[in-house]
């Protein structure tokens, strides 16, 4: 699974598919899906979204970066999908996260424990 995770991190900004990652680690998509869920506790899609949101959180610490640019830079295909995923994973919107940082409360939210 280390090779699969490395592939995901290396190709995060692009369009990642289960099939492309499975091919990169030389297993069938079905088998990869089962192995990945067993090893990470997350589905492939959930894992990719968590990694993308974590990268977005780091980028949101830079005030000069626009939220829209961050969403596309980390691989989300739409701003609405980025906002929904960010809120589902962190229990706050990207704007709320950034506002909290500006207010000086940089402690990570408890919901980001994944």
- Flag whether pLDDT at 1 surpasses 90: no
pTM for the model stands at 0.85
State the chain's mean pLDDT as an integer.
Answer: 90
Is there a single domain that holds both residue 27 and residue 81? Answer: no
The predicted-structure confidence for 52-72, as pLDDT tens digits, reads as follows 999 999 999 998 999 999 999
Residue 110 has pLDDT above 50, yes or no: no
My answer on whether 32 and 68 are in the same domain is no
Q: How many CB atoms lie within 10 A of CB 15?
A: 8
- What is the pLDDT at residue 101? 86
| pLDDT at res. 113 | 42
**Shared-domain flag, residues 33 and 76:** no
Contacts of 29 (CB under 8 A, 6+ apart): 18, 19, 22
Number of domains in the chain: 2
Range of the domain at 32: 2-44
């Amino acid at each position: 699974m280390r090779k699969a995770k490395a592939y995901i991190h290396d190709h995060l900004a692009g369009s990642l598919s289960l099939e492309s990652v499975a091919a990169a680690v030389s297993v069938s998509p079905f088998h990869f899906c089962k192995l990945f869920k067993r090893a990470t506790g997350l589905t492939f899609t959930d894992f990719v979204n968590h990694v993308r949101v974590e990268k977005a959180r780091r980028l949101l610490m830079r005030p000069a970066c626009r939220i829209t640019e961050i969403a596309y830079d980390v691989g989300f295909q739409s701003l609405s999908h980025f906002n929904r995923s960010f809120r589902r994973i962190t229990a706050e919107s990207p704007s709320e996260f950034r506002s909290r940082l500006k207010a000086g409360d940089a402690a990570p939210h408890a919901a980001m424990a994944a």
